[in-house]
Structure 1
Amino acid sequence: MKKEIIINISGLESKPAAMFIQKASNYKSNVWIEKGERKANAKSLLGLLSLGIGKGSKIMLIAEGEDEAEALNELENYLISGLEESV
């Protein structure tokens, strides 16, 4: 479980969300993002978009499963990089 602050201009919406989902889907672990009282499957575009994660949003990244440590590390690096396409 890791806390993150979204730093890119558009937050985790549309294209950045789709790219995040693509990365999260590479793992066998269940991956969740929690914002406030709400929690969504990080492998679901509708789920992520429903959270309304904008710039400056504070989220919790959660992974549960056999490759959870690897998933958390890569996804955290992606989030703190500013959601750049090259990462």
Structure 2
Amino acid sequence: MPERRVTVASKVGLHARPAALVAKAAAATPVTITIRKEGADPVEAASILGLMTLGAGFGDEVVLTADGAGAETALEELAGLIGSELD
């Protein structure tokens, strides 16, 4: 199963507006993407609530995983989004 590690670049972390943008992008992909912090259970990246409860702050590393046709492309797009300033 492909995975990507990315550092959260938004100063507020994956909270409120950044979480909504990431969830919308994840929901638009043809695969289910999960996201987790090291040592924590994964949550669905398409869930705003899941992203906010993840507690990923600025500078935290998160791990994205996906499976199925289009997983690599979906992970690249989402990693790029999380690794950019969304505030």
TM-score (norm 2): 0.88
Unaligned runs of 5+ in 2: none
Deviation above 6 Å: which 4+ runs of structure 1? none
What whole-Å deviation, never above 9, does each CA across 1:9-53 have from its counterpart, x for those lacking one?
101111110011111111121100011222100011111111111
RMSD value over aligned CA atoms?
1.2
Answer yes or no: is 1:11 the counterpart of 2:13. Answer: yes
Aligned residues: 84
Percent identity between the aligned chains? 31
- In structure 2, how many angstroms separate the alpha carbons of the residues matched to 1:9 and 1:74? 20
Unaligned runs of 5+ in 1: none
What aligned pairs does 1:36-75 form with structure 2 within 5 A after superposition?
A: 36=38, 37-75=40-78
More relative contact order in 1 or in 2 (CA 8 Å, sep 6+)? 2
TM-score (norm 1): 0.88
